[in-house]
Chain A
Amino acid sequence: MSPILEIQDLHVSVEEQEILSGVNLSVNAGEVHAIMGPNGSGKSTLASTLAGRPEYQVTAGYAHYRGKDLLEMAPEERAREGLFLAFQYPLELPGVRAWQFLKAAADAGRQHRGEEEYSARDFDRMLREKVKLVDIDPELVRRSVNEGFSGGEKKRNEILQMAILEPTLALLDETDSGLDIDALRIVSDGVNRLRRADNAIVLVTHYQRLLNYITPDRVHVLLDGRIVRSGGPELALELEAQGYDWIKEAVEAGESL
Chain B
Amino acid sequence: MSYYVLEDLYTSWARVHLGECSSCNYGQGTSEGASTTTQWHGPYEERSQAFEKMESLEKDDARGCQLCNP
Chain A interface (Cβ < 8 Å from any Cβ of B): 2-3, 6, 8-9, 11, 18, 21-24, 26, 59-62, 64, 67, 220, 226-230, 251, 256-257
Q: A62-B67, A64-B67, A226-B37 are in contact. Are A220 and B31 (CB under 8 A)?
A: no
Q: A2-B66, A22-B38, A24-B37 are in contact. Are A256 and B29 (CB under 8 A)?
A: no
Q: A21-B34, A61-B31, A227-B37 are in contact. Are A26 and B13 (CB under 8 A)?
A: yes
How many angstroms from the CA of A222 to the CA of B30 in the assembled complex? 21
In contact, B35 and A230 (Cβ under 8 angstroms):
no
What are some 8 contacts across the A-B interface (CB < 8 A)? Answer: A2-B66, A3-B66, A6-B66, A21-B36, A22-B37, A23-B37, A60-B30, A62-B23
How many angstroms from the CA of A26 to the CA of B29 in the assembled complex? 18
Inter-chain contacts of A61 with B (CB < 8 A)? 23, 30-31
Sort chain B's interface into a size bin: 20 to 34
In contact, A21 and B35 (Cβ under 8 angstroms):
yes
In contact, A24 and B38 (Cβ under 8 angstroms):
yes
How many angstroms from the CA of A8 to the CA of B15 in the assembled complex? 9
How many angstroms from the CA of A11 to the CA of B32 in the assembled complex? 11
In contact, A230 and B23 (Cβ under 8 angstroms):
no
Contact of B35 among A2, A11, A26, A229 (CB under 8 A): A11
How many angstroms from the CA of A18 to the CA of B23 in the assembled complex? 19
Inter-chain contacts of B34 with A (CB < 8 A)? 11, 18, 21-22, 60
**CB within 8 Å: A-B pair count:** 75
Q: A230-B10, A256-B10 are in contact. List 6 more A-B contacts (CB 8 A).
A: A6-B66, A8-B65, A22-B34, A22-B36, A60-B32, A256-B9
How many angstroms from the CA of A2 to the CA of B61 in the assembled complex? 12
How many angstroms from the CA of A26 to the CA of B62 in the assembled complex? 10
How many angstroms from the CA of A66 to the CA of B11 in the assembled complex? 23
In contact, B10 and A228 (Cβ under 8 angstroms):
yes
How many angstroms from the CA of A227 to the CA of B9 in the assembled complex? 10
Contact of A60 among B31, B36, B65 (CB under 8 A): B31
Inter-chain contacts of A229 with B (CB < 8 A)? 10-11
In contact, B23 and A8 (Cβ under 8 angstroms):
yes
Inter-chain contacts of A3 with B (CB < 8 A)? 66
Query: Shortest distance in angstroms between A34's beta carbon and chain B's nearest beta carbon?
Result: 14
Q: A9-B31, A22-B31 are in contact. Are A257 and B23 (CB under 8 A)?
A: no
How many angstroms from the CA of A89 to the CA of B46 in the assembled complex? 50
Cβ of B6 within 8 Å of any chain A Cβ, yes or no, is yes
Query: Shortest distance in angstroms between B31's beta carbon and chain A's nearest beta carbon?
Result: 4
Query: Shortest distance in angstroms between B63's beta carbon and chain A's nearest beta carbon?
Result: 9
Inter-chain contacts of B38 with A (CB < 8 A)? 9, 22, 24
Query: Shortest distance in angstroms between A43's beta carbon and chain B's nearest beta carbon?
Result: 16
Cβ-closest 4 pairs across A and B: A60-B31, A22-B35, A22-B37, A60-B30
